[in-house]
Amino acid sequence: MENNQNRYETDYIPYIVRWGRITNLLGVALCFLPALILTFGFGFNPGLTAIVTGSLAQVSGSCIFWFVEPISYFPVLGIPGTYMSFLAGNGSSLRLPCSAAAQDSAGVVQGTEQGTIISTIGIAVSIFVNVALLSLGVILGTSVLSQLPAQVVSALSLILPALFGAMLAQFAVAQPKIGATAIVLALAMTWLSKNGFLAIFPGQPTYVIIIVAVFGTIGVSKLLFDKGMLKA
C-alpha cells in the first residue's frame, strides 16, 4: 500500500501536471484560433478599438472568476479535475456538481488521493455527456431546436438557479455555521450592490461581492475554528 501511495506522488501526479500544463496552455492558443483566422484569413478585421471596447465590458465582469473559481473549487476537483474543468469550461454549472456527486456516491473523501481519482472520472463523464449532447444538438441544428416550445426553453432556464441552491445546500448541511455565514455575507453584499451602495468601486462591482463572499466566509470560518466552534 505504501509503495502504491508513493507511485501516486512520484508517477501519477507528475504525469497529470506535465500533460495538464501542455494541454491547457495549448488550449489558450487554440482559443484564439477562430478569431485569428476570421481576422487575418478572411480579412474581417474589427480593429483594435472595437476588440478592446467589447472585451473590456466582458473581462471586467468575468476576470475575477478566472482566479476565484479555480482557487475555490480546487479542493473538491483535485489537480487533474482542475485542469479538466477549466479547459472544458462550465465549471460552476456542470463540472463541480458532477465531481461532488461522483465522490459522494463512490464514498470517497474530498481532497484525498481516492477523492482526486474519482473526481477525475466524474468530470470526464460530464465532459463526454456534454460534448455528445451538444454535438447532437448542433447536428439537429436550429431547425429542430427552435421547434421546442417557448415554455420548455424558459423552464430550462430555471434549472441553473435550482442547481446553485442545491450545491449550496449540499455543503451547507455538512457545515451549517459556515453555510449560514456564506449565505448572510452573499445576500447582504448582493443587496448592497442592487441598491447602488457598491457604486464607489470602479467598474461592475460583481468582483466585490464574490471576494467578500469567498474570502469573508474563509475569514469567519477561521475565527470559528480558532474558538473551537467547528466540528468535522
Partner 1 sequence: MDYLKIANGPVMWLVCGLGVGLVLVQSLLFVRRSIIAGRELGITDQQFKHAVKASTISAIGPSLVILGGMISLLVTMGGPIAWMRLSYIGSVQFELMSAEFGAQAMGVSLDGPDMNAVAFTNGVWVMALGSFGWVLFTGLCTHKMDKFRNVLAGGRKAFMPFLSIAAVLGAFAYLASDRIMRFDQGTKSCIAGFAIMALIVIVNRKLQKQWLKEWAMCIAMFGGMLIAVLI
By CB under 8 A, what part of segment 79-108 binds partner 1? 79-80, 82-94, 96-108
Which residue of 149, 196, 227, 232 would you call a contact of partner 1, by CB under 8 A?
Answer: 232
Q: Which residue has the cell 500533460?
A: 19
User: Cβ of residue 174: shortest distance to partner 1, in angstroms?
Assistant: 6
Beta carbons of 69 and 92 less than 8 angstroms apart: yes
State the DSSP string of 159-193: HHHHHHHHHHHHHHHHSHHHHHHHHHHHHHHHHHH
Nearest to partner 1 of 133, 199 (CB atom) = 133
By CB under 8 A, the residues from 46 to 85 that bind partner 1 are 46, 50-51, 53-55, 57-59, 61-63, 65-76, 79-80, 82-85
CA distances from 72 to 118, 157, 198 (A): 19, 25, 23
Rounded (to 5) percent helix, strand, coil in the chain = 85, 0, 15
Among 30, 197, 201, 203, contact with partner 1 (rule: CB under 8 A): 30
> Can residue 10 be called a binding residue for partner 1 (CB under 8 A)?
no
Count interface residues toward partner 1 (CB under 8 A): 160
Considering only residues 171-230, where is the footprint of partner 1 by CB under 8 A? 171-175, 178-179, 181-183, 185-187, 189-191, 194, 209-210, 213-218, 220-222, 225, 230
| Near partner 1 by CB under 8 A: residue from 1, 2, 200, 227 | 1
Give the whole-angstrom CA distance, residue 57 versus residue 55: 5
Phi-psi region for residue 149, left (φ > 0), alpha (ψ -120 to 50) or beta?
Answer: beta
Q: Closest distance between partner 1 and the C-beta of residue 144, in Å?
A: 10
- What's at 87, amino acid-wise? L
- Binding flag, residue 133, partner 1 (CB under 8 A): yes
